[in-house]
Structure 1
Amino acid sequence: MKFSERWLREWVTPPLSTQALVSQITMAGLEVDGVEPAAAILSQVVVGEILSAEPHPNADKLKVCTVSSGPESHQVVCGAPNARPGIKVPFALVGAKLDDFKIKKAKLRGVESFGMLCSERELGLSENHEGLMELAADAPVGADINGYLQLDDRIIEVDLTPNRSDCLGIIGLARETGLMNNLDVCMPDIQPVAAVHNDQVAVHLAAPEGCPRFVGRVVRGVNLTAATPLWLTEKLRRSGIRSIDPVVDVTNYIMLELNQPMHAYDLNRLTGDITVRQSIGGEQLTLLNGSETTLAAGTLLITDASGPIGMAGIMGGASTAVQSDTQDIYLEAAFFAPIAIAGRARAYAMHTDAGHRFERGVDYEGQVRAMERATQLLLSIAGGHPGPLVDTVSEADLPQAIEVRLRAARVARVLGMVIDDADIENILKRLEFEFTVDPNSGDRAWLVQSPSHRFDINIEADLIEEISRIIGYEALPVTQPVATLSMLEATETQSSDKRLKQRLIDRGYSEAISYSFVDSELQHRLLPDAIAVALKNPLS
């Protein structure tokens, strides 16, 4: 997972350098794969405003623009199709450096040009160079582009083990960072959004063991032509996701921020109620990526009266997808059980960000929070009229918190050091674990329950591991293992396999170790009557 260091520091601000932060994240068990700058090295690039754009006298596809850099105006020749008066764009002055490229005064088809108007690719932000990068209307003319776009940032990539799916969002990374530095996490203010109409879609959980919670909301009158704010698209870009439209951008943002994948349907393309059920073998579904899929039995589906409209937790269907003319949408934030999603995407030769999260486990109490946050953002960007939030839930099928007994004596024995009871309780509180002192224990012990976003706490050793990484592995004492060694019994009447192998080598034999996977044609030649097991997803 990639994330912006600046984004993380909006949630929690440890007094650490980038390198120290990266080291701390790694020592917490979240291995950092790489760190890279958010953009190329830029100098003398400012926010410019195009005051006029006239046709070039000697070239049909070029324009002669007058550009304000704040204190003065400049003549710039530009070929971008979206160059027009009134927009604000990144403006590289004469002498500016775009990474290793220096801007000089030039003459293009007989007209002098003093500087360059930039696309995203010229700034090193993305590969998009179809037109100028348009900035917000309130961007201050003459402001340094590094400061305005907050390009003094680092993109950190972490390689998470499957048991730490809670850190596939900024919320989880912030929890970890705050935990390691004993700092409070600054959550965004998420308030319930009041409904202005009562339109809703009925949801039926026909497979509650696979989908015990499904949160939905109708939002009417959304303007998909509205521009997604630069701060949001930049956070998406620095996480490796491109901007598409306000609805998709908001759902992707919620996935990255709160670790809750979401999906949006065109409300007018839905038919009747929504039912979450298992597939019947042979059903057909056209996915958002255009692929036609024949479904095997036992795949969890989102369906309406017309049939399958999405592969639950993996990818939505094309028939109900949000289009450029969509005005009314239905938002979904669901909890799908990891066992119902695990391996399903691979079975269909797919891998999606949503599937990656659901098969590892997301917070089963985070769907309402995600829906309220998404609604807030969507209304502020694209407008609309929200309906009531509908939480369809099967309480009996939600994951049940496991109570684990933690003994102070066991902690001391495993870690090789005595930890004060108060310190253990403080660590449990900071981990958001609920606990009580075990009244039936002669020694000091606690009965501990993990929060809803942690799926990896099942036994006492898991809790001890949490304590050890919070204390810091480097703080644990180094002790030499103590063991007794005894000679194994040996008999003169038997020879070892090793001696037999050496005798065969001495006689000119060579040992052959064959691959577990072989070509089917070669297998048939050697063993024509054998029935071989074919791999669904062969490596080659």
Structure 2
Amino acid sequence: MRVPLSWLAEYVDLAPGSTTEDVHAALVQVGLEEEDVHTFDVTGPVVVGEVLEFVEEPQKNGKVIRWCQVRVAPEGQLAADGGPDVHGIVCGAGNFFVGDKVVVTLPGAVLPGPFPITPRKTYGHVSDGMIASTRELGLGDEHDGILRLSTLGVDAEPGTDAIALLGLDDAAVEINVTPDRGYAFSIRGVAREYSHATGAKFDDPALRDALRPTGTNGFPVALADEAPIHGKPGVRVFATRIVRNVDAARPTPPWMVSRLKLAGIRSISLLVDITNYVMLELGQPIHGYDLDTLTDGITVRRAQPGEKLTTLDAQARTLSPEDLLITDGSGPIGLAGVMGGATTEMGENTRNVLIEAANFDPVSIARTARRHKLPSEASKRFERGVDPAIAVAAASRVAELMVELAGGEADETGSLVGEPTTAEPILLPNGYVSGLIGIEYTAEEIRGSLVEIGATVDDADGGLRVIAPSWRPDITDKSDLAEEVARIVGYDRIPSVLPVAPPGRGLTRSQRVRRTVADTLAAAGSTEIVAFPFLPASENDKFGSPTAGSVPAIKVANALDASAPYLRTSLIPGLISAAKRNLSRGLTDVSLFELGLVFTPENGKRYGQAELPSGVARPTDEQLAELNAGIPPQPRHVGVLIVGNAVAKQPGIASVPSGITDALAAVSQIGLATGAQIDVIQGSHHSMHPGRTAELRVGDRVVGYAGELLPQLALDSDLPRVVAVAELDLDAILEATDAAITAGVIGTLPAATQDLSLVVPRSVPAGDVLATVREGSGELLEDIRLVDDYRGKGVADDAKSLTFALRFRAADRTLTAAEASEAKLAGSALATERFGAVLRE
């Protein structure tokens, strides 16, 4: 909410000389968050000028300029810039005439931009200033011609300060309005808060007596909401006033234009500007209808299936039966609380106006605004709650301004249908406020604070009986009252105490492991990303499971992107998308990883079918259990993608392209970080290269896959042919491993190293042979690694030679070569028994 200071000062006594910083500081004291300061950024001299004469001079480029003589000071007096009373000015606009009063920015002035004004030679003349347009002054977007003061209904003598005349010397403070404090979306609400902070006198603009109706049976209105949402009617109060014989062509006065601009609203026309002005002033959204376009009376009802409405933004909208409508005899004429219809819009030819000020249900308005993706200033206020007792005052204020500024005549009788709801009494027990806030408040402080915010306070047994004011629908229980006492008395009364963390708490095992995995991969040179969790169905089919389509995907009902409505079943698509973006920006060697949730629903089970609670009360345990049952399993995965060179080319060092070995290295790092023994088995995956795919296991449990993408799949994703990837189920790894990671004993006695070469059929996985040799070699074997896989001369075509490096060590003695050889041959013998391995000499 942007609050012009001149407007605020009409309803609360600002301290003399108050700056925007002072006002912000005061509002922060009562819990309103400071956002920004807005000004017109115009400094003088900027004066009223009178066009005495001009000469039109065509230029070679086809443009016609005017060489003008403009009086910028009373005759015979010096101008504000110290120059003569008549200045010669070059102007490119052609929409003004001799005798017009215009705004002249003299040398030394600065316009928004900043754009300093200096005498300058142009088109063969020295232009001693500039005649300004609306946009150049920051008052609007109009830039086709200069601003003629007559269009604003303003007349002033040459040399008059135009900054003060047009309200350009005003400034606005901007505050952040939280959802529970909708009353602060008005000058009225902010002025009251400033009064709370400073003790300044507050004059409530809603208490004006001007043009109050003498009756409530004027224009016919019927409330016919037969399908209320969550049991509450869509409209509580509906007030109208009629103003006849308005002059819609009259200009909006400058003071209103400048205030609306500072408040963030563009001036449109006098009648519309008045409704917006009162909305900002009182917080009550207003809508005006061209009375002559209405047929019969107004009925407020829900939409019927298939009904349509063209709103003020010229969009034809298909309505939902949940939408609350304003209708007349012709059908829908407005989306209640959101936007009016085009057929009854106030325009240049409007002569008679029907003013509407209603109070609508926040939930109903919020759903309609989101359903039609149509946020508006009105819906923003109704969603947070509008004072239900202010409708008649707001309609009367609009009528007053239309009479004063548009020359209209207000009907004495208005309409008022419905009654504002009253808040339920709240019992505030003695001692509750001090006990909750943690400091002592006197009884006088508590009662005085509640009275100050507008509450009705009476004595009750054991405490106070409090009724919240009509503009505070957020106050519903005793804790809200305690918060108001703390706020009004002052947050500075509450001491800052650092809480002592209870012992024995900290990160969970899962959190510790996740951090360790991320740190390990980052230390190895990978960059962590966070990818979009929504995908097209095709991406889930490619990467979601080893067998295409074997894991169904969850489709989001209200997807942010219609082309990607499914929850991901794999992290690989997000990594591919990030790699593609980085490659397109010239980063050719990329290593990425992500830790994130994937969604793996069970076949045949439906999710998200539970009925959503209304939100009026806390859901029951049964409702929460039903909602939780409708959530698919969400295991946490870790994914890695490597593309480009693992080792960049350097002087004396050839580049080393990345591949499956780098993916397996990342798997090894994850295993070290989690304390898991991850076994690498020959595997297959429909999106990965045959023969370059590894199945990853912890014990007998498959926890992921690693390998290289199919070359064609990589090329289709605009990536190089070789893309190494790995994806592991981190939750499954944690379940399959012990909570404690025990470090092994470091051997201090000499080790005996041996090599073992075995010839086995090509179909036998090297990992199976390695595991068998490890098993057969016994407890003396400390380490075993595959160091060579040879296929060629000297080895049968259907066989391969696997060479392993073995390290043996005993804990209590120095091994002899014979003992090491005996253990090695035992491992070889077991491999011969299982796979027919032959020892290669």
TM-score bucket of the superposed structures, by smaller chain? 0.7 to 0.9
Measured in 1, the distance between the counterparts of 2:189 and 2:388 equals 14
Check if 1:145 corresponds to 2:162. yes
Q: Which residue of 1 aligns with 2:12?
A: 12
Cα deviation digits, residues 73-96 of structure 1 (max 9, x gap)? 233332323322343222122444
| Change over 3 Å in CA distance of 1:141–1:537 after alignment to 2 | farther
Amino acid at match of 1:47: V
1:386 to 393, 404, 410: 410
Quote the residue 2:188 is aligned against.
171
1:122 matched to 2:136? yes
Deviation by residue 1:49-97 (Cα, 9 ceiling, x = unmatched): 22x3444254674334332222322333323233223432221224444
2:68 corresponds in structure 1 to 65
For the 8 Å contact 1:93–1:103, the answer to whether it is kept is yes
- Report the TM-score when normalising by structure 1: 0.88
Tell me if 1:42 matches 2:37.
Answer: no
Q: 2:264 aligns with which of 237, 240, 243?
A: 240
- Contact 2:26–2:198 (8 Å) recurs in 1: no
d(CA) in 1 for partners of 2:297, 2:46: 53
SS in 1 for 2:487: helix
1:257 aligns to what? 281
Structure 1: gaps spanning 5 or more residues = 489-494
Question: Could you say what secondary structure the match of 2:444 adopts?
Answer: helix
Letter in 2 for 1:30: L
Deviates more, 1:296-305 or 1:383-392: 383-392
1:202 to 220, 241, 254: 220
Distance 1:118 1:199, change over 3 A: farther
Could you tell me how far 1:111 is from its partner in structure 2? 4.9
- TM-fit CA distance, 1:523: 4.1
| Alpha-carbon distance, 1:499 to partner | 9.9
Shift of 1:240: 1.2
Q: C-alpha deviations, 1:391-413, integer Å up to 9, x for none? A: 33223xx4331211123411112
Aligned residue for 2:117? 103
**Pair 1:315-2:339 in alignment:** yes
1:535/1:179 CA distance change after superposition, 3 Å = same
In the alignment, structure 1 residue 518 sits paired with structure 2 residue 532? no
Do 2:216 and 2:414's aligned partners in 1 also have CA atoms closer than 8 Å?
A: no
Distance 2:273 2:404 in 1: 13
CA separation in 2, counterparts of 1:278 and 1:294?
13
The Cα RMSD (Å) is: 3.3
**Shift, 1:241, TM fit:** 0.9
Which amino acid in the other structure matches residue 318 of structure 1? Answer: A
- Could you give the per-residue CA deviations for residues 92-146 of structure 1, whole angstroms, max 9, x where no partner exists? 2244443654434445544554321111232344443222223353334313333
Moved more, 9-18 or 348-357: 9-18
1:300 aligns with 2:324: yes
- What is the CA deviation profile of residues 433-466 of structure 1, one whole-angstrom value per residue up to 9, with x for unaligned ones? 101011x22xxx2111111110111111101111
**Code of the aligned partner of 2:89:** V
The residue aligned with 2:479 is 461
Give, as a single letter, the amino acid of the residue that structure 2 aligns with 1:467. V
Per the alignment, residue 291 of structure 2 pairs with 267
**Contact 1:196/1:386 (CA < 8 Å) preserved in 2?**
no
- The percent of aligned pairs where both chains have the same amino acid is 35
Residue 330 of structure 1: aligned partner: 354
In the alignment, the residues of structure 2 paired with residue 235 and residue 318 of structure 1 have an alpha-carbon distance, to the nearest angstrom, of: 27
Number of the residue aligned with 1:24 = 26
Going from structure 1 to structure 2, the CA distance change for 1:537 and 1:402 (only over 3 Å counts) comes to farther
Residue pair 2:96, 2:148 contacting (<8 A) in 1 also:
no
Give the match for residue 422 of structure 1. Answer: 444
- Relative to structure 1, the CA distance from residue 426 to residue 145 in structure 2 (aligned partners, 3 Å threshold; closer, same or farther) is same
Deviates more, 1:284-293 or 1:213-222: 213-222
Alignment of 1:471-486 (within 5 A): 471-479=489-497
Any conservation in 1 of the 2:426–2:478 contact (CA below 8 Å)?
Answer: yes
The answer as to whether partners of 2:387 and 2:470 remain within 8 angstroms in 1 is yes
Residue 22 of structure 1 aligns to which amino acid in structure 2?
Answer: H
Q: Which residue of 2 aligns with 1:491?
A: none
Give the structure with higher Rg (CA). 2
Change (3 A) 1:195 1:345: closer
CA distance in 2, matches of 1:427, 1:240: 33
The answer to whether the 8 A contact 1:206-1:275 is kept is yes
Selected match of 2:98 from 68, 71, 85: 85
Deviation at 1:33, TM superposition (A): 1.7
Q: Which amino acid aligns with 2:43?
A: L
Matched, 1:221 2:245: yes
**Residues 42 and 123 of structure 1 are in contact (CA less than 8 Å); yes or no, is this contact kept in structure 2?**
no
1:497 positional shift: 6.6
1:537/1:125 CA distance change after superposition, 3 Å: farther
Aligned to 1:412, the other structure's residue is in SS state helix
CA distance in 2: counterparts of 1:96 and 1:482, whole angstroms: 59
Structure 2 CA distance for aligned equivalents of residues 285 and 204 of structure 1: 20
Q: Distance in 1 between matches of 2:251 and 2:517?
A: 76
Aligned to 1:290: 314
Whether 1:433 and 2:433 are equivalent positions in the alignment is no
Task: Tell me the alpha carbon deviations over residues 279-303 of structure 1, each in whole angstroms, 9 at most, x when there is no partner.
Answer: 1121111111011111111110001
Question: Contact between 2:294 and 2:344, CA under 8 Å: does it hold in 1?
Answer: yes
Structure 1 residues 504 and 377: alpha-carbon distance in aligned structure 2, compared to 1, 3 A threshold: closer
Number of positions where the alignment pairs a residue of Structure 1 with one of Structure 2? 523
Match of residue 355, structure 1, among 376, 379, 382:
379
Task: Output one character per residue of 1:491-538: Cα deviation in whole Å (capped at 9) or x when no partner.
Answer: xxxx97789999999xx9xx9999754334434664478474334351
Distance 2:184 2:517 in 1: 54
2:350 aligned partner, one-letter code: T
Distance 1:381 1:371, change over 3 A: same
Is the 8 Å Cα contact of residues 65 and 76 (structure 1) preserved in structure 2? Answer: yes
Distance (whole Å) between structure 2 residues aligned to residue 77 and residue 504 of structure 1:
70
On the 8 A contact 2:13/2:201 being kept in 1, the answer is no
Q: Secondary structure at the match of 2:13?
A: coil
Contact 1:197 1:385 in 2 (8 A): no
* Change over 3 Å in CA distance of 1:127–1:394 after alignment to 2: closer
Structure 1 position 198, deviation (Å): 12
Letter in 2 for 1:93: L
Tell me, in whole angstroms, the C-alpha distance in 2 between the residues paired with 1:498 and 1:427.
Answer: 45
Per the TM alignment, residue 41 of structure 1 is displaced from its structure 2 partner at its CA by 4.0
Q: Deviations over 1:159-193 (max 9, x none)?
A: 21100000001100001001111122134473242
- Could you say which residue in structure 1 is the equivalent of 2:594? none
Q: Aligned-pair distance for 1:234?
A: 0.6
- For 2:762, the equivalent position in structure 1 comes to none
For 2:493 and 2:219, the matched residues in 1 are separated by 55
Instruction: Tell me, in whole angstroms, the C-alpha distance in 2 between the residues paired with 1:118 and 1:503.
Output: 63
Secondary structure of residue in 2 paired with 1:249: helix
SS of aligned partner of 1:418: coil
Give how far 1:426 is off: 1.6
